[in-house]
Structure 1
């Protein structure tokens, strides 16, 4: 085994061993990591900036020390003095590998920018925001009646708008007096009304009639991506939406890896807190710039996230969430100033509301999904599945709602897949396989034609074909099963067994080639046996969680399924069911809710009464803990088969007959084509 240093790149997860002295940029290029550079490695363009991470990374099996990269050289010193490097950043063309290291490639250093598929979903929302504008006439000061300007503003709000009491941050007082006088004692006031009954709080004041609008943010803080919507607080219009990768990925792709990092690296939790706060702040500034508004007009934010993200954002060590009984520091909703989260982009007095968490592994994002999809108001039994790195599942109707989380891992998002990548131009996102010829056709993000259609080669030349993203790998595996390339146990057949040269030998197993671009200097995009196993583990965890809720509810079937999140918007119900990711129902009873967590955040942002409603609903949801439930393991094992070892899936069978093939050689050595080798005497 090579003793060369191990280099792990995030967020791609690609890894390899390289001799000491190898430039980081060279290692990235050899692994197919998406790291930009246009100056030929001379340290001029700065596009190859990377962020090394130091500490113990149990997920990657790496301990990375500060000496894992070479010291700063003169080129980096010169660039930093002239143009500046963010703290912790290195130039990939100058830093060389000296030891095992984890290296993050930030979004701005990636050639193919991440496509964050969490656009705002169209939704009718009754506008009743917590923060409103009021135009008031304030009495001028009178030396015979000595009262402060704030007190006379409060008196005006009470008399003219029936707002009896107000509070104001000291930072507002410095603006209040000059603004009152500039407006001739007529001012527009932004007042925040907390639904808990606390004093209304004055957030901002403008001279005269303010017509510039006020805005809020609905933020879905996921373990992989951070998506945000900039919303007009007057009419509810979404001005713009954007997203970035969660920079915490470099500390671990899944939640427990990040908990582990915090446990094994003193100060690791603070490091992750700082990273995610900076990312949100940068995203807010970008949204304001894109919408063409002053960031100071952003007066409110609603944030939803899972429990680990919740604690790390708030600066709480998540260690208790990594072990039974998975205790939250608090499960209640939180109202506070955005400044308490070190957010400097919005108005300094902007308020932040975080929805309540349901339980230790079912967070505020699940509460937002419940607010959006309302399983507690459903006449029929509905299963709501929100899949990310961690799946959160709800099952219920008007009588009762159950919830659980299931550790699906990052495979559904293209991580831990041999040719996997995040959704970006150049990634294969759709796959179909002909059941007769076993030949594939595919679509690439950023390219309109399919691979077998006229004009594909010319269109794909602009993006290249760089790998396969989550939706692509899910469809590929399902299509492999439907076409007989894959058997029900998850084994890929040999070329002789399947009847196509696209099944190639890979050690003692086989892989199915979707695209081979090696002749043109591109990658081999193939689905390996290891990829199949990763998808099996993810989908088994998802199905087992749903089945556990069905057991608890005392049912063998559900009436309908709602797929939430980017997963639900980009995966066909047929492919999800062929894999056995969701229970068997008629395909017309499987619908997509889009980014339901983001929609729930927008509802809470736009309607203050919805906050009280979801706080009440959360207290009535019954949590089922998969981590300590023995039946979860039983369901998990049975769900390893594709679609399932014992559940019959009659609705699926009626429309998609799956080939009855088996490539299990019962442990016998084969020649790769399914024929047994003769044993030597």
Structure 2
């Protein structure tokens, strides 16, 4: 039998017993410890660094020695990531347990709680929920009276009082009826689904019932507790998707499943646990703020809706996601799915859970939700709907024809692959402006309303760790560098920058821009590097190429034909429309026609929660959507290359030029700052 060892993680104190040879990262996952990893444990990101400690720990009766962890691994020897392995630290994905050990997880390696900024806007909608409450009074039982069983009495009362013909009484309700009738002195309230199925029972009169709508994103999970009778959102909550520890992007998580037997079960268990916790937190929040005759608890939830990309959709249902990681990207089902919440390990005993339909292998129920919320299929004008995220979903069309595609933008927009990138946590730079004359920047950070040039900024942000840039800040700093003339159209940080400002400096063979920090202490600076610009170019080119491909398929290549552009998602909702145009994320429509619409997928989930008609509508709408697979389109690569430039390599931007001052054409410079020659050299005579 293999040896087993105890591992304690500090500062949390979580303890787990693992087989000898288990990596520290896997041990952390088993323990539920807060250890980051965005590459799926492949030794690429450097985020899982830990500090093995030596000594006697009487609290856990552990003698931790230098030999409790394997020696330096080849993965660590060959590591070349942006985050250097600090002295005394090891990569958790490379170091293996070979004895009882206490491991410290430094703050930089912890998955910090993200500021999840997903709200919901329902617009105008007729509330018509699938589940309704009915109060009934059962006859008093008397010896010799032929009343029938309690189930039959409920059916008779529903028919007499509400003209509801009971077709079924759910099996989980049957054992609860007698006790409910006893507590309510024969008065009970039942929940009826689809107008005929009894799915819940409560003693006495219950005045309100609730549902939960959840948008399960790759990075964030947003939930809303909704009054089913009114459609009012009474509580909202957001958490990070715990699957981040298995990989920052979807393909990293699929790779984790492929390389680790049982990995699919781990992913399913982690997201289901997060959903269950979120439901509990929503209920707790509402219990103290919502006025009801009966205190709100988990049994108050009678319905749930879920949206998510196809991989999240499959993982939640316990379906192996690996077929979605390779062509032909085959879905197990693209239809809407309804299961009991308890089947998904969510403690909501009376709730049914409806997962909206998927559209294609990389266009999921979240896109269906966004379509339902924004309604391109209901519009005469052409609408471009873009959910900007790790895997961008794009919808283009109107009531006559709707097309959809996904584009693999990667996690750069959300801070990964960026040298100073970080998630949207307190202290992250989220807004940037660069003075056109002095080239000096000013920034705003999450957690403060002040700009950095405000005299009170330092005092107000003294307790914030300003250590990086989140997604919206990354978009703005790239746009500002271009508008300030420090970036060429092709994305090169100009080598004549140092002659204009000391914020541009030589960084190896390229140049970087010091955005925040002290020039005398370069180790603490937040810089924008040439590699950062390239990462954003690759991401934005993938997104724009997908958009242009759909426009070509629709025969609508003139931006002026597009009636509106909607930027959706947790990240898209915080992009300034002007900067989206400066970077060329979207076509050159007038900026007044570009709008951030918030969490459209979540809004669609709420619509489907409170209206049976909305479910019918979206199930019909997705059947009419034409799916475009970017991976198999020969034209995609050419469009991708053309979209690399700022704002675009080949497309003119007259609308943008009328909306902001674009930099004048500047001579192309070589790597050392000299003006590049054009044409052929004249042969000496």
Which segment drifts farther, 409-418 or 475-484?
409-418
Residue correspondence of structure 1 range 51-200 to structure 2 within 5 A = 51=35, 57-58=41-42, 60=44, 74=57, 77=60, 100=94, 113-121=113-121, 123-141=123-141, 143=144, 145=146, 147-193=148-194, 200=196
Alignment of 1:274-673 (within 5 A): 274-292=269-287, 293-344=296-347, 346=348, 348-494=349-495, 496=497, 499-516=500-517, 523-556=524-557, 557=559, 558-661=562-665, 665=669, 670=672, 673=673
Deviations 1:270-289 (A, max 9, x none): 11111111111111111211
Counterpart contact for 1:337–1:351, Cα < 8 Å: yes
Residues paired across the two proteins, number: 608
SS at match of 1:189: strand
The alpha-carbon deviation at position 98 of structure 1 amounts to 7.3
Q: What SS does the corresponding residue of 2:253 show, helix, strand or coil?
A: helix
Any idea what SS the aligned residue of 1:429 has?
Answer: strand
The CA distance in 1 between the partners of 2:468 and 2:36, in whole Å, is 24
Whether the 8 Å contact between 2:35 and 2:245 is mirrored in structure 1 is no
| Distance across 1 between alignment mates of 2:41 and 2:667 | 37
Structure 1 residue 236 displacement after superposition: 1.5
Residue 50 of structure 1 is matched in structure 2 by 34
> Alignment partner of 1:492: what SS?
coil
* TM superposition shift of 1:25: 7.5
Show the counterpart of 1:43: none
Kept in 2, the 8 Å contact 1:113–1:425? The answer is no
CA distance in 2, matches of 1:417, 1:141: 72
Residue aligning to 1:261: 256
| Alignment correspondent of 2:223 | 228
Measured in 2, the distance between the counterparts of 1:287 and 1:192 equals 22
Q: 1:605 to 1:315 in 2, by over 3 A?
A: same
Q: How big is each residue's C-alpha offset from its partner over 1:578-613, in whole Å with a ceiling of 9 and x where there is no partner?
A: 000001100111112111111001101111111011
Q: After superposition, what is the alpha-carbon deviation per residue over 1:176-216, rounded to whole angstroms, capped at 9, x for unaligned?
A: 012113323221111222xxxxx8332322222113x2211
Counterpart-to-counterpart distance in 2, 1:285 and 1:72: 40
Q: Distance in 2 between matches of 1:72 and 1:610?
A: 62
CA 1:582 to 1:285, structure 2 compared with 1: closer, same or farther past 3 Å? same
Residues of 2 paired with 1:378 and 1:312: CA distance?
33
C-alpha change, 1:72 and 1:363, in structure 2 (3 Å) is farther
Task: Give the distance between the partners of 2:487 and 2:512, measured in 1 at CA.
Answer: 10
Deviation (angstroms), 1:233: 1.4
Q: Give the alignment's TM-score, normalised by structure 1.
A: 0.83
SS at match of 1:384: strand
Partner of 1:201: 197
Partner SS for 1:505: strand
Greater Cα offset, 563-572 or 314-323 = 563-572
Asked whether the equivalents of residues 59 and 257 of structure 1 are also in contact (C-alpha less than 8 Å), the reply is: no
| TM-score normalised according to structure 2 size | 0.82
Question: Which sections of structure 2, spanning at least 5 residues, go unmatched?
Answer: 1-7, 12-31, 63-87, 97-102, 288-295, 677-685
CA distance in 2, matches of 1:274, 1:463: 34
Q: How much does 1:73 deviate?
A: 7.1
| Secondary structure, counterpart of 2:534 in structure 1 | helix
Note the C-alpha offset of 1:663.
7.5
Instruction: State the SS of the aligned residue for 1:287.
Output: helix
Question: Structure 1 residues 635, 99: closer, same or farther in 2, change over 3 A?
Answer: closer
Distance 1:108 1:136 in 2: 58
Q: Is the 8 A contact 2:35 2:109 kept in 1?
A: no
Aligned-residue offset at 1:155: 1.8
